[in-house]
Structure 1
């Protein structure tokens, strides 16, 4: 029975990996986020940080002590000297009021920092998967366009061979068309290799076998976004987890400064002891038991400036995070400036192709093919027109793919959707 169940499970696994996985981009993103070991690592790190709060924000355990005081030697008798005592004691250390709550604030900030790291990694996974998915769509579209061009070229070859058979075309024309067909076959083979690379990249995020097939849709319809650098910076400062994490780290160091400054204040230890005394011999004189209460106060002398150094360290860390934040914003301005320029260029080029060169290339090819069939032009004009149409269609899809990939990059850098 167990062998049969194992066989069924293995068969299901084989079938699931033998056929294309039907899933939208959002479905793939959901799967990747659910399975990601990196996100699970940050989840565990978050739990560890939360557990650290209780470790560092409670009083230390009290100390229970047992002992003997003033025991005479060599007799070691408990009833020979009135100062001999058997002692039990209890002591508890206390930090200066407010120190434990300050430490708790520091540890809670650490939890917030890890959560921001989680969110930034989550956005990075979405970005990587989205860009790979769009690139896979582009490659498959280019394969499709190349295959259509190859089929069309085969039709042209049939026409050229028919014309060659009646001496209306030269053998050189036949060789030229065959050469173009060979080039297209080589291009399809290269594109298939690129397709396998993108499939491997996507499947690695899904924890699947690299060769698992994935069905893709066509590129989504989109409208051009109106973007400027200042607006993108504002969005990033408000929503990017990475930037928020730096700000929280600075806030944490401010709290660490408060914790360090508490070392300028004394620590306390309260202790109580109860002493048991036996009746003295030989006369049996009774002895009262005794109780002692002590309050120890540390003297915060700041030897060698050690406490001052801790405070200065936290101030330096605050400055470091401020500068890190400024450097990150400066880098984002550069990235956003380049991205906006690229998106505007892509927008203009897409509009020019769709409204001009693509229409002209289609008309030119249809005209060239009709003219060649009636013998008005040489076949070289047909090949040139066909190659021109193919190149324009391929470049248009490339431009649209690059536009969507750049938007995905901006969504990662800003931490929010770009509408």
Structure 2
């Protein structure tokens, strides 16, 4: 009992207890946030009886099941293999993995081996100089001057991770590494989508160019017909001038589309990570492809299918752990130091064991007491980062549900728009045919022919744009569901 009381009265323990008490009082209260997750049971454009509800998870769907186009698949594979930004993200993942290794090494003992040599000449009127002079007089031997010191051995230091600061920091690095992996997957999904959109835009431009060429050829035939009628006095030069002007207008538009094709090809080559070159494609697939609405599952599957949601979730877990890491900075740190080796003032005696054997063992305890602003700032920032990560996780989830809902609705409406456009084109083709026959038999005006051809050209261009939007909507749905590309 007496020994226990004396231990409690020991100044070292009193100081340690006081330091811990001061630190406990110095830690401010922080605000944190748990994400408010509210996932609907079904998408707005989907009912409980929809076949897509019972579908497998969309992440297991292969890209080829979405777009049956071998040339597009080849372009996507080229982009994933060659795109420079994908390669940059891979190096960031490697750096994140190296950070995990570095953090793991921080809570393990650090051991080093080496040789140390130094020499020293002290002044006679210093404490060391007085000791040397005293030994010279007492022993009757000259003290080496200057005095050398040689040491050969091992040094070890180890910070005892009492508060789990170092281990939590390692877990944070691991979560950040996994987050970077998910970030690369999300970028690949975006890359696949961007390559596909650009590809379909290129096909649309090809079809617009083909439609213009067909219209110009028809208008040239009309001009030839008018010239024939003019020879028989059944027409004038006015229709020829009007149709010639219309041909030149379409030829001018043709050059603009050709320039757009060049720029779109170069944009696609940039995504593929290669210099400008022709893009192999079959333009007619844009209008002939069958669009099948894929299975989309239910909103809750987005939590596991979307890489950006998984990335946000990992970032949130890392932010939570970072608060514990920052909080541990308020507490004392414990460090052990040890050394073992051979030491002598002359190399002749360095290996005279056990006389030259030297070792040391010490323990250190340090706790910050004054000017804690820097530690408090890091602690407050950790709280702010956790709240921010919670909001970002909520936003990623809400954005995912909205994107899928919009894509489903867009696909449904565009399908109906395409059907209406097809019927419009059929009616306009009939009107062009009737107008041509009436004009050829001198029962119609040339303006009717011109107007009918112009309306038919505009309708075909709008139909091509609608088909391109339809394919792009399918790409948007692929991206919104988290992508199905397996690389």
Return the alpha-carbon distance in structure 1 between the equivalents of residues 479 and 167 of structure 2.
36
Q: Deviations over 1:133-190 (max 9, x none)?
A: 1011001101101101111111111111101110111211111111111111111111
Return the alpha-carbon distance in structure 1 between the equivalents of residues 344 and 213 of structure 2.
104
Return the alpha-carbon distance in structure 2 between the equivalents of residues 417 and 372 of structure 1.
55
Q: Taking structure 1 as reference, are residues 235 and 182 closer, same or farther at Cα in structure 2, changes over 3 Å only?
A: farther
Return the alpha-carbon distance in structure 1 between the equivalents of residues 467 and 157 of structure 2.
68
Aligned to 2:169, which of 91, 96, 103?
103
Aligned residue for 1:321? 389
Of 362-371 and 269-278, the range deviating more from structure 2: 269-278
> Is 1:86–1:277's contact at 8 Å kept on the other side of the alignment?
yes
Return the alpha-carbon distance in structure 1 between the equivalents of residues 244 and 314 of structure 2.
65
Aligned to 2:334, which of 267, 281, 305?
267
1:373 matched to 2:440? The reply is yes
Aligned residue for 1:183? 249
1:92 matched to 2:156? The reply is yes
> Is 1:302–1:308's contact at 8 Å kept on the other side of the alignment?
no
Of 321-330 and 44-53, the range deviating more from structure 2: 321-330
1:221 matched to 2:289? The reply is yes
1:34 matched to 2:102? The reply is no
Aligned residue for 1:242? 308
> Is 1:224–1:347's contact at 8 Å kept on the other side of the alignment?
no
Aligned to 1:204, which of 270, 273, 286?
270
Q: Taking structure 1 as reference, are residues 277 and 80 closer, same or farther at Cα in structure 2, changes over 3 Å only?
A: farther
Return the alpha-carbon distance in structure 2 between the equivalents of residues 208 and 291 of structure 1.
65
1:353 matched to 2:414? The reply is no
Return the alpha-carbon distance in structure 1 between the equivalents of residues 383 and 228 of structure 2.
86
1:364 matched to 2:413? The reply is no
- After TM superposition, the score normalised by the length of structure 1 is 0.78
> Is 1:23–1:215's contact at 8 Å kept on the other side of the alignment?
no
Tell me the CA shift for residue 235 of structure 1.
Answer: 5.2
Return the alpha-carbon distance in structure 2 between the equivalents of residues 133 and 87 of structure 1.
71
Tell me the CA shift for residue 249 of structure 1.
Answer: 1.3
Structure 2: state its 5+ residue gaps. 1-68, 120-127, 141-146, 346-353
Return the alpha-carbon distance in structure 1 between the equivalents of residues 466 and 156 of structure 2.
71
> Is 1:266–1:298's contact at 8 Å kept on the other side of the alignment?
yes
1:406 matched to 2:470? The reply is no
Return the alpha-carbon distance in structure 1 between the equivalents of residues 218 and 276 of structure 2.
33
Return the alpha-carbon distance in structure 1 between the equivalents of residues 168 and 180 of structure 2.
19
Aligned to 1:43, which of 71, 76, 90?
90
Q: Taking structure 1 as reference, are residues 105 and 403 closer, same or farther at Cα in structure 2, changes over 3 Å only?
A: same
Tell me the CA shift for residue 307 of structure 1.
Answer: 4.5
Return the alpha-carbon distance in structure 2 between the equivalents of residues 327 and 365 of structure 1.
52
Tell me the CA shift for residue 337 of structure 1.
Answer: 5.8
Aligned residue for 1:9? none
Aligned residue for 2:104? 57
Return the alpha-carbon distance in structure 1 between the equivalents of residues 455 and 344 of structure 2.
110
Tell me the CA shift for residue 372 of structure 1.
Answer: 2.6
Which runs of structure 2 are paired with 1:276-355 in the superposition (5 Å)? 294-301=361-368, 303-305=370-372, 307-331=375-399, 339-340=407-408, 342-354=410-422
Tell me the CA shift for residue 254 of structure 1.
Answer: 1.9
Of 34-43 and 243-252, the range deviating more from structure 2: 243-252
Q: Deviations over 1:263-288 (max 9, x none)?
A: 4253221425679899xxxxxxxx98
Return the alpha-carbon distance in structure 1 between the equivalents of residues 468 and 332 of structure 2.
63
Q: Taking structure 1 as reference, are residues 227 and 376 closer, same or farther at Cα in structure 2, changes over 3 Å only?
A: farther
Tell me the CA shift for residue 252 of structure 1.
Answer: 1.1
Aligned residue for 1:73? 132
Aligned residue for 2:58? none
Aligned residue for 1:174? 240
Q: Taking structure 1 as reference, are residues 73 and 335 closer, same or farther at Cα in structure 2, changes over 3 Å only?
A: same
Return the alpha-carbon distance in structure 1 between the equivalents of residues 426 and 412 of structure 2.
22
3-state SS of 1:294 partner: strand
> Is 2:71–2:280's contact at 8 Å kept on the other side of the alignment?
no
Tell me the CA shift for residue 222 of structure 1.
Answer: 3.5
RMSD of aligned alpha carbons: 3.6
Return the alpha-carbon distance in structure 1 between the equivalents of residues 92 and 275 of structure 2.
28
Structure 1: state its 5+ residue gaps. 1-21, 279-286
Q: Taking structure 1 as reference, are residues 311 and 382 closer, same or farther at Cα in structure 2, changes over 3 Å only?
A: same
